[in-house]
Amino acid sequence: MEKNLSGKKVAILVTNGFEQEELTRPRKALEDAGAKTFIISPQTGKVKGWNHTNWGQEFDVALSLGEADPGDYDALFLPGGVINADKLRMDPEAVRFVRAFFRESKPVAAICHAPWLLIEAEAVEDRHLTSYESLKTDLQNAGAHWENSEVVVDGQLITSRKPQDIPAFNEHMIEEFAKERISHQV
């Protein structure tokens, strides 16, 4: 399967409180495969990660959410983190940004708590996916078919449960992001 992401632009949507290793390890894998990654955030300047039980490092924001156009990117990656996902799902601009990727049939990868944002974007009904286990009922109530698997791929949607699953998540994310898809408006 093709694993070369040269020329692909990947938006990474986060705000303060994302789980740090759920950003850094997949981002490195994407860049190692040739993708250009861009941190997009409602914040400007820098965003701060959450490193398991404490605040982590700061990362530069490439574009504020208000400046970012989903049409400029080939794929979307959503790191998890309770604080991050909860803040983003309450931000109408973030929800619109995510919804645009589904409307255009672009691939979206989400790990851990990030599927909370997918619920708000109305992108989970009748889809098979996974997440951090505490989101199971929320996802099922939104019409998703939840699985306790390290990675679930359903069309353009790639989901994973937790940091321990990152190696498998990275492999499937890169494989799906490398596929050529026909973009269309629904």
What's the pLDDT at 2? 56
Range list of H helices, 61-135: 82-89, 92-103, 115-120
Q: Which of 112, 128, 172, 184 is catalytic?
A: 112
Instruction: State yes or no: is 113 an active-site residue.
Output: yes
**pTM for the model:** 0.95
112 given a catalytic annotation: yes
| Domain ranges, ordered by start, for the chain | 9-178
CA distance 40 to 46: 10
Residue 182 has pLDDT above 70, yes or no: no
Euclidean distance between CA atoms 135 and 129, whole angstroms:
11
Grouping H, G, I as helix, E, B as strand and the rest as coil, residue 134 is helix
Q: Could you give the 3-state DSSP secondary structure of residue 117?
A: helix
Q: What CATH superfamily is the domain 9-178?
A: Class I glutamine amidotransferase (GATase) domain (3.40.50.880)
pLDDT tens figures, 151-177: 999 999 999 999 999 999 999 999 999
Each residue of 8-57: pLDDT tens digit?
A: 999 999 999 999 999 999 999 999 999 999 999 999 999 999 998 999 99
pLDDT tens, 108-117?
Answer: 999 999 999 9
d(CA 143, CA 125): 4
